[in-house]
Structure 1
Amino acid sequence: MNFENLDVWKRSARLSAEIYKSTNELKDFGFRDQLTRSGLSVPSNIAEGVSRESYKEKSRFIDIARSSLAETRTQIYIGLEIGYLEREKALYWISETKELGAMLTGLKQQFDNRS
């Protein structure tokens, strides 16, 4: 399985890039850094997990990616609440993180069923 062929990896990498571009001008470095790091962690852990040998390891990294995705969504909610993020964009990102979460759960179940 090649991570670059996975829709969940492609979409999460695109989301991460969008977050970077959209928060580039944000003056609150701490918030921006935390949001971009958690967003970047999602496709990175998918890639690392899928590249592992054992299904148990694959599953563990997908679980980490899901956790990072939940962290990202939390920060998006907060960024929306405090006026750091545009409403329409933030709501789209929240929807996207929910869909990605479901995709990651499905991928994790595939690995869990093989281990």
Structure 2
Amino acid sequence: MHRFKELEIWKKSRLFCSKIYNETSIFPQDEKFGIINQLRRASVSIPSNIAEGSSRSSNKDFARFLEIAIGSAYEVETQLLISADLGFINEEKVKELTELLEEIIKMTSRFRSSLKL
């Protein structure tokens, strides 16, 4: 069992989630139940799945939750690009967020690979 609060991937993804909440707070209010909700839920899913997986008794189970976290990260990236297409967020901010997201994905993938399954 791993202590999720000590994992850098959890710390970075938690910070990333806060950034998503801040950015989506300026999106049009008529998107409250649309892209805002989708982005927030997917971003929350990243650190949540890392935390949940860390509680599992086997590395195989943990690895499965890390895969889900990575999937949520790609979902967020897609939603950020769509948000830029719709003019809700500028390209510079999308670039900044996707760079952080790519770092989280790489770190999570490397960590997953290091688990002895």
TM-score normalised by the chain length of structure 1: 0.93
Partner of 1:63: 67
**What amino acid is the match of 2:5?**
E
Partner of 2:7: 6
Shift of 1:86: 2.7
Partner of 2:23: 22
Counterpart CA distance in 1 for 2:88 and 2:26 is 10
**What amino acid is the match of 2:50?**
I
Question: Which 10-residue stretch deviates more, 97-106 or 86-95?
Answer: 86-95
Q: How does 1:74-85 map to 2 (within 5 A)?
A: 74-85=78-89
Shift of 1:18: 1.0
Runs of 4+ in 1 over 2 A off after TM superposition: none
**What amino acid is the match of 1:104?**
T
Counterpart CA distance in 2 for 1:75 and 1:110 is 29
Partner of 1:48: 52
Shift of 1:25: 3.4
Number of corresponding residues: 113
Counterpart CA distance in 1 for 2:87 and 2:114 is 39
Counterpart CA distance in 2 for 1:25 and 1:87 is 15
Partner of 1:102: 106
Structure 2, unmatched stretches of 5+, are: none
Shift of 1:81: 1.6
Structure 1, unmatched stretches of 5+, are: none
Counterpart CA distance in 1 for 2:93 and 2:106 is 20
